[in-house]
Structure 1
C-alpha cells in the first residue's frame, strides 16, 4: 500500500481562502455542530447549556454538568471545575463543534466535574492576543457569575485550565496571566494546567517536525499557516506566543512554581509538535514548576478528539492528576 501524498497546499487542506482584506473565508461544511442538551434524562448522563459572556464580542460559554448532580446529589458536594479551550489553530472551529461537544461531555461524565468551554475570537480577523484576552475574560465571567450550575455545583477552590492544541496554548498563556493576578481572581483558585497536545512553534524546525514533515493530520506546512494567520503582524514564529522557550522563559512561570500549580503536558509520539511540547515541559521544570508528562506511542495530534475510544484512558489519567493536585 503506497504512502499518502504529502500535503502541498495547506489552504486547500484547511478549506480556507485568504481574502485581500486579510480575513479568511472558511468552508465549515466539514465541521458539524451540536446543540446544547439542557434537559436531564436517563439517556443523557451530562447536561449542557450556552450562556453569553460578552455580547459586544459575541463570545459565549457552554457549561457541562453531570446529570447526577441534578439527581439529588448532596448540595454540599461541589465538583472540580475544568475550563476547557477548544483547538483549531486559532483560526478555525468553535465551542459547539460536535467533536469538542462530545469530548467535553465525556470529560464531565468521567471526571465527575463541571466543564466550562468558553468561545474566543478567531484570527486573522482577531489576531493574538485577542484569544488570550477572551480566555481570561471567561475566568472573570465565571468568578462573577450568578449562574445556577456554577453557584450550586462548582468548587471554586479546585479549578483547572485545560485546552487542546491551540486551546492548550491558550490555557498556557491564560495561566501565565492568571499567575500575575491571583488576588484578582479570588475566590477562584487555579490548581493546575492541563495542556492536551498543546500548539507551540518556532522558526527552526525541531526534530519531530523534520521526522514527521509529511504527517497527514497536522504537518508543519499547515502549522506554519496557522501561525502566519494568528500571530501579531510583523512577528515570526519565535515570538513568545508561539515559542515560550526563546530566551530564558518568563517570570510568570516562576510564579506558577511558587503558587504550586501543577502542569500536565499530554502528547503523542506521532505529532510533529511533540518535541516542542517536551521542550516547554523542560522549561517549566527548570522554572520550578511540577510537571506531569504523558506522551503516548503512536498517537497523532489531538488523537483523543478524533478517536473516542482513546478518551477513557486519557480522562482516567487526568482524573488522577486532578485528585493529586489539591
Structure 2
C-alpha cells in the first residue's frame, strides 16, 4: 500500500477494482495478465497481431484471423469493444485474447479488438472517440487507400458484413457507435450490419425493475461519476442513459440487426431488458433479438469459457452473424 493519500477506490463484485492515490499512482488489482498475439493459436488455429493506428492519442488494436478455407476467402468483420467498467482490462488481456480466439474460430470471422483509452487517466468520452476512430479505420479498408493499411482486412474482410459489439462497458460503447453511425457516415459508405450487445452497462436516475439503490448507493452511479465526472446530465447523459431526456431516438440506430444478451443472475440484467424493450418500442426498423441465460451472472462467457452455457451463447452469436446465408 502506498503511504500517500488514497483519493478514490471503486469496488466490483470481487472486491476493490481500482485505487487512485494522491501522487497519481493507480492500482487495478483485478486486471488479468496481458498476453502477446500468436502467429497461430494452438487450440483454435486463429492468428493474431497487434497494430497501432494512432499515436496521438494512442489507439491500438488486436486483430484475429481464422483459418481460411482458401487463400482468397472473404469473411465477416467484427469490431469488438472489451468490458471493464471503462477503467480496467485491455484488449491484450488473457481473458479477452482467449475469448476472441474462440469466437473468431467458431464464427469464422475477422475480429478487430479495440484497446481504447481508460479512465481515470483519460476520462470519458475518450473511449468513445477512440472506438469511433477504430471503426472508421476498419471501414477505410473497403478500398485500397487505407492509412496504416492492414492486409488481413483488405484481402479477407467482407465489408458488406461488418459487425460491432462488446460486453458490459464494451456493449455500451457498441450501442453508442451505432448511434454515431446514424449521424456520421463511415468511410466509403460502409454500413454496420449488426450489433452484439452483451450484458450492457447502462443506468439512469430513475430505478428500473427491482433496482432499489439509487444515487451514491448504486455502484453504477459511483462508476459513472468516477469515469466521467464532468458528464452533462450526470447518469442521465445520453452515453449512459439511452432513453434519457437528451438522448437521440433509438429509432436512428445505425445498423440492420441487434442481439441483446442478458444473464438471469446479473446485476445489470434488468437494464439489458430495459434497453431491449426501448429499442423494440422505438420504431427502429431492424431485426431485434433477445438471448437470456437464466442461471448465469455477469460476463460468464469470459469467466467460465469452457461450460455448456458459454458454448450455447457462442452458438447463438454464430447463428446471429451467419443466419442470412
Query: TM exceeds 0.5?
Result: yes
Q: Distance in 1 between matches of 2:292 and 2:30?
A: 32
- 8 A Cα contact 1:81 1:158, kept in partner: yes
Shift of 1:19: 3.4
What residue is the counterpart of 2:157 in the other structure? 154
Higher helix residue share: 1
What residue is the counterpart of 1:318 in the other structure? 317
Q: Helix, strand or coil for the counterpart of 2:267?
A: coil
Aligned positions, number? 301
Q: 1:186 to 1:59 in 2, by over 3 A?
A: same
CA deviation profile, 1:107-148 (whole Å, cap 9, x unmatched) = 000101111101111112222221111100001211234211
What residue is the counterpart of 2:117 in the other structure? 121
Q: Which range moved further: 201-210 or 114-123? A: 201-210
The gaps in structure 2 that reach 5 residues or longer are: 1-8, 141-145
What residue is the counterpart of 1:60 in the other structure? 60
Shift of 1:226: 1.7
Which of 258, 263, 268 is the equivalent residue of 1:268?
263
- 8 A Cα contact 2:91 2:113, kept in partner: yes
Q: 1:154 to 1:124 in 2, by over 3 A?
A: same
Q: 1:261 to 1:156 in 2, by over 3 A?
A: same
- 8 A Cα contact 1:91 1:122, kept in partner: yes
Shift of 1:29: 6.5
Are residues 1:294 and 2:296 paired?
A: no
Are residues 1:227 and 2:229 paired?
A: no
Q: Distance in 1 between matches of 2:267 and 2:25?
A: 25
Q: Helix, strand or coil for the counterpart of 1:54?
A: strand
CA deviation profile, 1:251-300 (whole Å, cap 9, x unmatched) = 3x3233xx661111001111111111111111111222331000111111
Q: Distance in 2 between matches of 1:325 and 1:24?
A: 50
Shift of 1:176: 0.5
Q: 1:154 to 1:20 in 2, by over 3 A?
A: same
Q: Distance in 2 between matches of 1:292 and 1:248?
A: 26
TM-score of the aligned structures, taking structure 2 as reference length: 0.84
- 8 A Cα contact 1:208 1:273, kept in partner: no
The Cα RMSD (Å) is 2.5
- 8 A Cα contact 1:262 1:291, kept in partner: yes
The gaps in structure 1 that reach 5 residues or longer are: 1-7, 214-219
CA deviation profile, 1:227-269 (whole Å, cap 9, x unmatched) = 1212241542122111112238523x3233xx66111100111
Q: Distance in 1 between matches of 2:218 and 2:11?
A: 6
Q: Helix, strand or coil for the counterpart of 2:162?
A: strand
What residue is the counterpart of 2:188 in the other structure? 186
TM-score of the aligned structures, taking structure 1 as reference length: 0.84
Shift of 1:222: 3.5
Q: Helix, strand or coil for the counterpart of 1:178?
A: helix
Q: Distance in 2 between matches of 1:143 and 1:317?
A: 26
Structure with higher RCO (Cα < 8 A, 6+ apart): 1
- 8 A Cα contact 1:191 1:325, kept in partner: no
Q: 1:208 to 1:295 in 2, by over 3 A?
A: farther
Q: Distance in 2 between matches of 1:153 and 1:9?
A: 42
Higher strand residue share: 2
Residues 74-113 of structure 1: matches in 2 within 5 Å? 74-113=70-109
Q: Helix, strand or coil for the counterpart of 2:100?
A: helix
Shift of 1:324: 3.1
Q: 1:49 to 1:208 in 2, by over 3 A?
A: farther
Which of 172, 176, 190 is the equivalent residue of 1:169?
172
Q: Distance in 2 between matches of 1:109 and 1:164?
A: 19
- 8 A Cα contact 2:77 2:111, kept in partner: yes
What residue is the counterpart of 1:246 in the other structure? 244
Q: Helix, strand or coil for the counterpart of 1:84?
A: strand
CA deviation profile, 1:53-94 (whole Å, cap 9, x unmatched) = 11122220000111x22xxx3344310111110000001111
Q: 1:140 to 1:76 in 2, by over 3 A?
A: same
Q: Distance in 1 between matches of 2:280 and 2:271?
A: 14
